Structure 1
């Protein structure tokens, strides 16, 4: 039988667990903000198009990445951050991933954000592995985080490619199979009868937080997994200073040092300089460019090619320039300097 003292001890233990978790997250956030201070470039930069993901959400990045690493899936950190933004509304809460229901518990039963990360990541890994096994695309996998794994089976029978039309169809079927079990959310959740099982626009909302920065751009000639691995690798160095001759994280990077390092991480060997990389890659036109292709520039007189960046979609590249390492718009400054486009093969 529990005594009053035992109950008070259990209560105190739970509260201390929450406090310790909160303090951990607070200091992670402070460290990330300090690291980010002073990082600027000549061009507009920003990992997610500034304002897309909230500071509260970004503070969890290292914790989410560490949890994903346990499953060998850290390349999907950006997707999980976007899911977190959608689930939390950009603010802090205890069940930040709204993961209680994946355990069969009532909403918000989880009261520890660190545990919510563990459960949310595990739920994502589960639908990801099932989705890949059944030939379902990443958009369908993300929608399954909201709908549950039954959507994987449904989508697999429809060809494996997610669309809002198919999400609406699935939602409607679930309503018909379980009449009276689900209620519509009304205007506040943008739900409309009969599509009131889950949120059929969930995938669209999730990707809206990260796609503008090219984070989950699709159609790379490298393959999606390789491109995401490359992309996540260069993101680690956003805000680092430009270092002439730099070719490793220990020294920071110059433009071609960054590209050669990035492609080395996915099994490609690029020469060391921008000129050599231009000569070693396949020429393509601007219309043929896909995320993961290289863009070459002439910014000085000593070589025909003196600068290189990685195309990430949406008229942006990721590069190391005199202002530092980050995203650059292909704008009136960069466009006149373009020499050509190259594909690594």
Structure 2
């Protein structure tokens, strides 16, 4: 039975505490600046600073740019609408509708402008008797700018995390889940039973891990533009992981219909060896993507290639001996799909290793 501390550590890791620290510092610094500069609505600086701080530098830069774009566009539209409406309540009502419609349409087209409608409402309706519209808009832009700068500075200076380093662990997770899927598929084909709930859990986990890796690619590219990382493109590594997952799915498609007993008995040793060899290479690559030092990686790759070649040879032997002539159509389909899937997995593992070598060399 895990202790309370063990449960908490499984829910909250070092990266979570780092993000909490960065956000807290950013909020306090922004509040201090807003107070020192006597900003009329300094809470916007604090809110922006806290929102800009994200898990990685690239994500923080994305949020900062989006808030800046949304604020500037919303401020310009809001000021124009307020000046045209003047002190007329009727015209303000009409201008509000038109301005929100325009900026909300922009935000629907691009998420970068999602703050624009909010800024329009603030400029048009907040404290109309105290400030001129253009001055209210200028204050809002300045407050967002202060918060954005503080948030970015906190992300860069306080225990920074780069998207590139956060990306590959998601790939490693996908590989480990694929290793489990490969074993499930093999057991299903050989009549050892197939657990549908485990299949769904592993498959869903692999999909989510690859989606998370895709999201980190955009963040890593933002960091390249900002000059915080070298010109390392992680996309080929993620694509290899996705192709590998698709190759495993080929084997899984027939896993709910076991092969005929005679064929399954004959092919079981070579299929077991192929899956063991592929998973040995796959898990070693997962450790490497996690930043661990892996010994004997090439030997594991060679063992996987030899095991898959032996599986191919066994399928050809069964065909030559006439064993497959009496096998059912489902068995034939499952056998050759398994051989094809193992070959594709092997190729994708080799390609993944080569692409990650390139990333490491550039980094």
TM over 0.5: no
Q: Which one has a larger percent strand, Structure 1 or Structure 2?
A: 1
Larger Rg: 2
TM-score normalised to the size of structure 2? Answer: 0.24
- Give the TM-score taking structure 1 as reference length: 0.25
Compare the two structures and name the one with the higher helix fraction: 2
